[in-house]
Amino acid sequence: MATVAVIGETVRVTGFRLAGVVVLPADTPDAARAAWTCLGDDVAVVILTPKAAEAVGGQATARLTVVMPP
């Protein structure tokens, strides 16, 4: 079964846990890149905060991604 993950600042992503989303807090660009590389093959959709999207850069095209509004 495919899952959904969210990467970004802790205060913006924690609430997604209530919806069953895999939450990967990343408060720095390095943490966002590390979280991206740790995504499992079962993750079909990744939600990124704007800062995480900037940190991940071109890697974000490898999966279906959604960027939150600022």
DSSP string, 8-38: E-HHHHGGGGGGTPEEEE--SHHHHHHHHHT
Say how many domains are in the chain: 1
Q: Specify the CATH number for the domain of residue 13.
A: 3.40.50.10580
Give residue 63's domain range.
3-67
pLDDT digits (tens, 9 = 90+) for 17-53: 999 999 999 999 999 999 999 999 999 999 999 999 9
pLDDT at 60: 67
Nearest to 47 by CA among 31, 62, 60, 34: 60
What letter does residue 57 receive in the DSSP assignment? G
Band of residue 58 on the pLDDT scale cut at 50, 70, 90 = confident
